[in-house]
């Protein structure tokens, strides 16, 4: 759904209800820019917040982390 800011102002509650019910973002054009009103998955916000609160562990990997990318695990992996 794409509307102007004027149409949004006239129908704000109807637009918000439509976004909540359908899950489809509303796009608003304002001064040549595109804005979106999107529903947010609250569970996703909780997961992101928990990651932000995790303490930093800079000494967890001993050595160069880039070397982990090059490890060949094919000899150890069994389907």
pLDDT at position 66: 85
Q: Is residue 7 part of a domain?
A: yes
The pLDDT-based confidence of 75 (bands split at 50, 70, 90) is confident
**pTM (two decimals):** 0.53
CA 73 – CA 37 distance, rounded (Å) = 45
Q: State the residue range of the domain holding 2.
A: 1-39
Considering only residues 16 and 46, tell me which one the structure prediction assigns the higher pLDDT: 16
DSSP per residue, the chain: -EEEHHHHHHTHHHHHHHHHHH-PPEEEEETTEEEEE----HHHHHHHHHHHHSPP-TTSS-S-GGGGGG---TTT---
Q: Residue 30's domain is classified under what CATH number?
A: 3.40.1620
- Cβ-based neighbours of 1, under 8 Å, separated by 6 or more: 15, 18, 19, 24, 25, 26, 27
Q: Is residue 15 part of a domain?
A: yes
Number of domains forming the structure of the chain: 1
**What is the per-residue pLDDT across 20-58, written as a single tens digit (0 to 9) for each?**
999 999 999 999 999 999 998 776 778 888 888 999 888
pLDDT at position 69: 84
Q: Is residue 25 part of a domain?
A: yes
């Amino acid at each position: 759904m794409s509307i102007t800011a004027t149409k949004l102002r006239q129908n704000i509650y109807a637009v918000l209800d439509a976004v909540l019910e359908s899950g489809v973002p509303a796009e608003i054009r304002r001064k040549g820019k595109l804005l979106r009103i999107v529903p947010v998955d609250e569970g996703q916000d909780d997961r992101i917040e928990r990651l932000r609160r995790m303490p930093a562990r800079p000494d967890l990997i001993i050595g160069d982390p880039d070397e982990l990318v090059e490890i060949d695990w094919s000899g150890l992996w069994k389907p």
